[in-house]
Structure formats: structure tokens, C-alpha cells
Chains A and B, each alone.
Chain A
Amino acid sequence: MITSAIIPKPLARLPWRLIFLVAAIAMFGLVVLYSAAGGSAQPWAVKQGIVFLFFLGVAVAMSWMSEGTIKSIAFPLYGITLTMLLGVEALGFVSKGAQRWLELGPIKLQPSEFMKPAIVLTLARFYELVPPGDIRKWRAIWPAFVLLGVPAVLILVQPDLGTCIMVLLCGVTVMFLAGVPLWIFALPAVAGAVAAPIVYHMMHGYQRKRIDVFLDPESDPLGAGYHIAQSKIAIGSGGIWGKGFLHGSQSHLDYLPEGHTDFVFATMAEEWGLVGGVLLILAFAMVIRWGMRVSANARTRFGQLAAAGLSATIFFYVAINLMMVMGLAPVVGVPLPLVSFGGSAVMTVMLCLGLLMALERQQRSGSSLA
């Protein structure tokens, strides 16, 4: 928070520390994308910069929303997103192929992206409405399962395993914090263990192969295991200080696939080394910590649950992506927010941050609507 007589009050009241942090991550991302393009601002860095600035503006604008407004749009947002997901399914059915996009003129909308903040807000709103005494009862649990399960299944069949897992984790986090009995979480874990072989059986060939390769990366070093192998080579060969800006051979010679999208962290770590990697992880940790603080300081139940859920969304993005890139998780197609090229992840994260900023402003202004 900057307090100065020169800066107009509305601007000074923005959470500048967070904005600087986010901007720094995004700037670093642009530098990496510049390198990934072989030392060129085209075709990724400029485009990504514009998208980032646009959504930063959106997020800042969103920060003036009141908690009441957010609450009131929670269910409608969920409803619209779910409708769009169904629409995508229908389109996919018609065109007989995988479909994740809705084309609205020049804009390609990926409804599954909206589902991540939407599910958080919806569940937060739902548990706000549940009386404290009912929280351990069945009627506090089954609606949440339905709210979470329907979009998750719709996204899974798209097929988009990464987003499906993200949505499930975000929803489960909110339920966990809302105080749902712990056995609820143990049950799906057991069920998951039982269902895993069945799910595995129903998966698409490429998804199944990714799981196989994760479990045994040596099984296919030139095929599906190639991604993980090359990513580990890039990160490992970077060492402590990295090979230097524009000197990453793995990315520049195209050995690293998806070096500007899902595997952008490997591109970065090859050139900036362990130092760059740790700094980036710390920056994300600070962003997430800021969000968790917002949750901890929130005075309403909705604020608490929504802020924590939104922070968790960002956390899951970063954690799943990094685990995948470093060979700790199967390749499920989750990008690194603010760094990976692609508008949808930037949009989702900035929407989350916009909502968090709005909730944070609410706390500072002290005008709780409770």
C-alpha cells in the first residue's frame, strides 16, 4: 500500500505489493518466452504481454467489486459456465471430435477455465448458506458433490484431464475448509484406489500412455516419455546458474517439446538455473501466501472460503505444473500460470487475483456487509 499525497487515493489503495509481484512474474515469463522463440518477441512474448496487461486491467477493475456482488454472481456464473460446458459437449458430439472451445466471433472461450473460480465461489456460497449445525450432515455434502461432480465429469470427457483434476482439487479444498467431516475425503481416496483401474481402462490412448510413462519413464524414452526425459535434461543441465539467457540448447534446438507452454519452466530453468527456478517458486509462494492471508483475515465465511479456494487454485496450477515438468507427476497438461504462453491460464489466474483483491479491499475498508 502506497500512501502519498501525490497519488490519488483510489490508486494508492490498490495492493501494490501484489501487483508488482505478479507483474514481475509475468515480466520474467515474457523474457523466457522471448528466449523460447529463439530470441524474438514474436510470436509469443508480445501477444502474451498484451493479454497479461488486459487481464491485469480486468483484475484491478474487479477489485472494486463488493463482496455482496461477488456473492450474488456466484450461482449465476456457475450456471452459465455449466451451460457452456454442455454446449461444448454438444458441439463436440456434432463435429465428432475432441472439443474444448466455444468460438464467439474472434474470441475462443474455454468454459472449463471459468469453472475453476466458479466452483470455488459456488461452493463458498453454498457453505455460507449451510447452517453451522448442519455441516456434518448429509444435506451439507451431497449438493456439493453434485455441484462439483457434474462439471468435473463434463471436463473429463472433453477430454481434459488436467483441468478436471484442477477443478476437483479446488472444490475439495473449499469443502475441506468448510468443515465437512474428514471421512468424506478418506472415502473418495479409497474409492479412487478401487476405481483407478476402471478409469484407467476408460481413458483415451494418449492419456493412458502418459500414466504408463509416468510410472515407468524408461519404458518409452523416444515416444511418450520423451517429454519428461527432455524436460529433466533441460532442468538438470541448467545447473545452479543456468546456461545463460538465449543459451538453452534444449529449447533452442527443439529437443524440449512444448517449451513455451506446459514445459516453459524447463526452458526457464535451463537458462536461469536453480537460482531462477527457486526465485520463481518463491514469487509464486508469496502470491499464494498473500491470498491465504486474505482468507485468514476475512470476516465472513464466504470471504474465508472463497479467498482460500481462489488461492488454492493458483497453488494447484503451480504445483501440478512443476511436479509434471520435474517428473513427479504424469503429464496432464496444466500450464504454469503467468509464464506459459496462452491466454486462458492468464485469464483464470487474473480472475482469481481480481476476486482476491476485491475481498482484500473489503477487509481494509472495514465495511463488512455481514
Chain B
Amino acid sequence: MKPIRITNTHQSITFSRRMLLLSGAQVAVGGLLVGRLGWLAIAQNEKYQLLSESNRVQLIPVPPRRGWIIDRYGKPIAINKASFRVDIIPQQLDKSRDIVPEVAKLLGLEGDDVDRIRRDLVQSRGFQPVSVADNVPYEQYAAITVRLPDLPGVAASQGFTRFYPGGSTVGQLVGYVGAASAEEYEKENKNPLLLVPGVKIGKEGLEKVLEPVLRGQPGGQRVEVTARGKIVKELDPKPDISGGTVQLTIDSDLHQYAARRIGDQSASVVVIDVTTGDILAMPSMPSFDPNNFSDGISQAEWKMLSGDDHLPLVDKTVESLYPSGSTIKPSMAMALLNAGVDRKQIVNCTGAFQLGNHTFHCDKRHGPLDMDGAVVHSCDVYFYTMCLRVGADKLAPMVRSMGFGEKFDLPFDNQRYGTIPDPEWMMRKYHREWQGYDTVNMSIGQGMVLINPLQLAVMASRLATGKRVVPRLLKGKPVAPQTQLAVDQDHIDFIRKAMWGVVDHGTAAAAKFPIAGIQMAGKTGTAQTHNLSAGERGNYTAANWKLRDHSLFMGFVPFDNPRYAAGTIVEHGGFGAAVAAPLIRDTLTFLYDKQLAMQALNSFEQSIGGPLDQRIARKTAAWRSANGLPPLPPTSQA
């Protein structure tokens, strides 16, 4: 390569050229900077202004007061009770001192709580208080209050706790509230309200389903805060809007009465005002005390509840399905009449019924019976015979129109609807032909027939009125217009009379209404859960509780001008007439004569070991000692 001789002239030309390049580059960079500045300040101005404002202004949410749940007369079912709470405001803490153990000692908090507080403190943004304890007893609250000057950053304040005057009797109805979980917080797009100490949201039952109404709108103190969380200036506050009050159709006195009258059984009762469809009571027992849940229940309590074979965590009124047993018979009778069966026609009950090579039994030898007698004495053979004669596909629609398998528009997210089978359903679900024995089973509410207690009460209402009574729980909802069912008035009158006969001189004769001039009509039912021999059936012990039949009853008063209808299913209660019928009788008596009903309840509770709360306390103590836990300290009723 031939070297180029570079002279001064060359050099100065190179210099000038490169100076031009350098200047050009500098101008380009300048242009880039101005362009970028313009892009940020003009094109993206809106976005960054928003971000700047959300930096500057923070909302300290003031939780709205949760709406009340009241009964049809305005009596409280779920309200808010003033309570004491203790929080820590991280920004005001003395950094050189660890205050958490001191506070924990004053409040008697244990390891788990201390860990939780420390975790929250790390995650908190300065001005946001961290909850130390909810629902603090007055003595501890006072102990903190006196020491406040020595405890910088600790704040003791009055807040509100959800309070259910009905205690465990309303547990299944209202559900409970609790602090939002991490998933719930995510699900609501990180709603900051859910992080505010003391804010509770509905977790189960009505509290959960009615959450949008009950929650209200959070207000807030708008403040200007520094990046370190120090409040610089208070801006105009945003007022909170309390949650709406929800009125139920429940009569809370009746509801509690029924709950207590259930006693130690695992049962539920539904009472309906047939003129409107209003549900007046729907207790499911045993239950949990929602008051204990709002602070989060202990591991031990949860274990006790979930291990109980009486299922205190299940709302039996709508969640549990049972064979309807003989309570289906009035509806079947209605269907038979509709299909043209002559109610005077006699069937001779020999106590057994042969179909193919299988023998179906009746509970006794009834002899010759017409339809009235078959309902009054609950004769199975009559219904086997007649239903086989008519056929299942003609019967099912009528039975269904009485409420079997029907979905109701009620504020429960856990309803189960049950089934009333027919040949078409059988093919769809089990891919097999309908057989004679299916009709036999269905005719007495066994086999595939499943119903919940609410449907049982609806059935009673519809048999009582001949109209399509639709249950209603929210007072704010309009009463559903009651359309006439496709039945003759003559048939209705007949069925009412037959059901009156059940109580007057039939299977439920022991459960006569105790008030002169008012007579109850009804139908008992005994749903088999296991095949027990007749001998075993009469001889129950606690050990084979699970094997016993369910005891059912549905009925209405007064029989000649129905006003109230009710249904109950007592799990493994035994013979329907013995347990379920008196329970409904006493509950409905309460609607007419409270004193008389209370007398009956008192003597009943005496016989089973005292009032509900005492029995629960004894049961808890027994469970704790059986599981090696120390007894609970005596609680002072607040």
C-alpha cells in the first residue's frame, strides 16, 4: 500500500470536516433532547399528570358502616356494635424502639398475631394504620389508653363490630363476615378499602350475597403525602355512604323459636305465609355463632364445627336434599285425581304389595281404604296400586308443580333443587327404561325423589291454597303474583280435608293444634336412609343415629282458611309423627299464642338439658376435654 503523505493542509481539511460532523452530531442530539422533552410534556402530558396526582393525593379510606339486616317488623338480625380496637400507625413509630412486644403483652396477644403485625408493618405505607387487635375488651382497651403517651404510634379507637343478636340461631341464615383474604383483595382489583383495619366483608350466606347492598361507599380523608408517607396537608374529605339496610320477610322471634324448638336434633324448619309467600322462619340447626366468626374463629372451634356429624356448617333448609317420604302423598293424590282416579275407589291393603318378584311393604295392614283413608293413615299399598295404574309420566308434572325440583329466586348461592324423576329423566340421566318399581318408589317419595325443606314448605303452601305460592325472603322484592295451579277447587278441598284428617285422627293425631278454633292440616313422612328391619327400626340407640330414618312433616293452619304453611325435616329423627309433627305444631302455635308456645318450649328444653346457650357451652367443653384442650375462660357477656 502506498502511504499517503499528509500535510498541514490535509490536516486542516480533515479538522474542518470532522468539526462539521461533530457539530452536526451535537445539533442532532440537541434535537433529540428537545423532541423527547416535547413528547413527554405534550403528547404524554395527560398520562403523567394523572400519575403525578396519584402520587400526590392519597385517600385514607374511612370505611362505611355496614348496612343492617332487619326482620319483617324492623327487629335487628345483623347490626353493628360499637367496639374497641387498637392499631399502629407506622409513620408515628419511634424507630429506635420495638413497640410490638409491649403492645402484645398489654393485649395478651400470642405468637401468630405478633408475626402478623410485624408482617403488616413491613408492608404498610406509613400513613396506613396496621391493625393490632379488633374487638378489644374494655379493660385491655383502658390499659392501652392510659399508656398511650408512652407508646408513640399506637392508636386506640372505637370502631364497629358486626353483631347478631340471634347468635347461632341465625348463623345459617345470615352467614358471617370477616377480613378480606388475599384472593378477595385481588378479585376486587386491589380495592384499598379491604386493607383498612376493621373492614369486614360478607363471607357466607346473606352477608356474602347481599354484600353489594350492605357494603356502602367508603369515604375518605384525602391527604397530600410525601414519598415517605408523611401527611403534608389535608384536602377536602369525601364523605362515606353507609350500606343499605336489608329487610327480610323473616319474623325473627318465630325464627329463633323454631331454632330453639329443634333442640339437639339436626334439622331445619321453614315457615311460609301462604298469602304472600314470605318466608317467616328458616332456621337450620345446629349452627355456628356468627358473632364468633367476625374476629376469625380459632382453629379448635373450626375443627369442632367441621367434625360435627350434625353438620353445623350446612344450611339444611336449601343445601340438604332428602327423600320426601310420605309427605309426597297429598301431591300424589292430587295428581291421581287430576288423572281421573275416583277418590272413592277402594284398595285393599294387606300390608304387602307384590310387583314382579319383589315384595313392597306397608308399615301395617290397613285393610280396605279409599283415597282419604290412604292419606290419613299414610298407606303405601294404596299409592303403589293407584300410581302404577296411572303411570309416572302423568303424575310427575303435577307433583313437580307443587315445588319439587323447583328453583327459587332467593339470595342464597348454595341452593340445591332436588329431583322428581320421570321416564324421560331416567333415560337422560341413567340411560335406562323406567320400570314399574320406579313408579312404586316414587309414589311414596323414595327412590330418586329428593327435596329440600324449603320445597317441602312451598309444597304445603301450594296444597293449602291451590295457587303457585312463590317464596320470598327480601321484603324489598315485590310479591310474586300467585297463579292458580291446574287443579279443581273440589280436589283442593278434598286434599285439605284429608290432611286435616292426618292431624285429627291419622298418623299425626298426637300433634293436634292446642288452640281452640284453629285446626292444623298436614302430612307426616318417614324417609328411609338405610334398610333396617322392622325390629331394628323401633329400637334406636345413639350409636346407630346415622342409620335412622329422617322424620318429616309439612302442614298448614288453619286448615279451612290457610294462612301459614310449614315444613321440617329432622335428620335421622325417626318416625315422622313423633318428632317432626310436634315441632311444626309448636312453631305454628307461636304465631297465634306466644305464651302457650313458650311454655311448651320451656318444658321441652327442660327435658333435653336447659336452654340452647347452656347446651352449646356444655357441648363445647365436652369436645375440648375429649380433644385434650384446656377449658375456655368464662366469658363476660358484652
Contact = CB atoms under 8 A, between A and B. Distances in A.
A315 interface: yes
A133 interface: yes
Interface string B119-146: 0000000000000000000000000000
Given A179-B15, A292-B19, A253 B232 contact: yes
Interface size for chain B: under 10, 10 to 19, 20 to 34, or 35 or more residues? 35 or more
Nearest to B49: A237
A135 B6 contact: yes
B358 interface: no
Contacts, number: 130
Interface stretch (B50-58, B241-249, B384-392): B50-58
A110 interface: no
Most A-side CB within 10 Å, residue of B18, B29, B41, B232:
B41
B226 A253 contact: yes
A288 B226 contact: no
Most A-side CB within 10 Å, residue of B7, B8, B51, B224:
B51
A255 B227 CA distance: 5
Contact of B36 (A179, A250, A326): A326
B227 to A, nearest CB: 4
B11 interface: yes
Interface stretch (A143-151, A227-235, A353-361): A227-235
Contact of A308 (B4, B19, B37, B53): B19
Nearest to A130: B11
A78 B227 CA distance: 44
Interface string B1-36: 000111110110011101100110010011011101
Given A132-B7, A132-B10, A249-B56, A235 B37 contact: yes
Interface string A227-248: 0001011111111100000000
A179 B6 CA distance: 10
Interface in B380-429: none
B129 to A, nearest CB: 21
Interface string B32-50: 1110111011101101110
Interface in A248-292: 249-250, 253-255, 269, 273-274, 277-278, 281, 285, 288, 292
A322 interface: yes
B303 interface: no
Contacts of B47: 236
B225 interface: yes
Interface in A288-332: 288, 292, 295-296, 301, 304, 308, 312, 315, 319, 322-323, 326-328
Interface in A133-165: 133, 135-136
Most A-side CB within 10 Å, residue of B26, B34, B228:
B26
Contact of A133 (B5, B22, B227): B5
A5 B94 CA distance: 68
B11 A132 contact: yes
Interface residues of A, number: 46
Contacts of A315: 26, 29
Contacts of B15: 177-179, 304
Contacts of B38: 274
A179 B14 CA distance: 6
A132 B36 contact: no
A77 to B, nearest CB: 24
Contact of A250 (B37, B55, B225): B55
Nearest to A320: B29
Contacts of A230: 55
Nearest to B232: A253
A200 interface: no
B42 A237 contact: no
Contact of B33 (A232, A273, A323): A323
A278 B34 contact: yes
A185 B283 CA distance: 87
Nearest to B5: A133
Contacts of B6: 132-133, 135-136, 179
Please provide the 7 A-B residue pairs with the shortest distance between their CB atoms, ordered closest to farther.
Answer: A236-B48, A237-B52, A274-B41, A254-B227, A179-B14, A249-B56, A237-B48
Interface of B: 4-8, 10-11, 14-16, 18-19, 22-23, 26, 29-30, 32-34, 36-38, 40-42, 44-45, 47-49, 51-53, 55-56, 224-228, 232
29 contacts: A133-B5, A133-B6, A136-B4, A173-B22, A178-B15, A179-B18, A230-B55, A239-B49, A249-B56, A249-B224, A250-B55, A250-B56, A253-B225, A254-B228, A255-B52, A255-B55, A269-B41, A281-B33, A281-B37, A285-B30, A288-B26, A292-B26, A296-B19, A304-B15, A308-B19, A312-B22, A323-B33, A323-B36, A326-B40
Given A237-B53, A269-B37, 11 more contacts: A133-B5, A136-B4, A177-B15, A233-B52, A236-B49, A239-B49, A240-B42, A249-B224, A250-B52, A319-B26, A326-B40
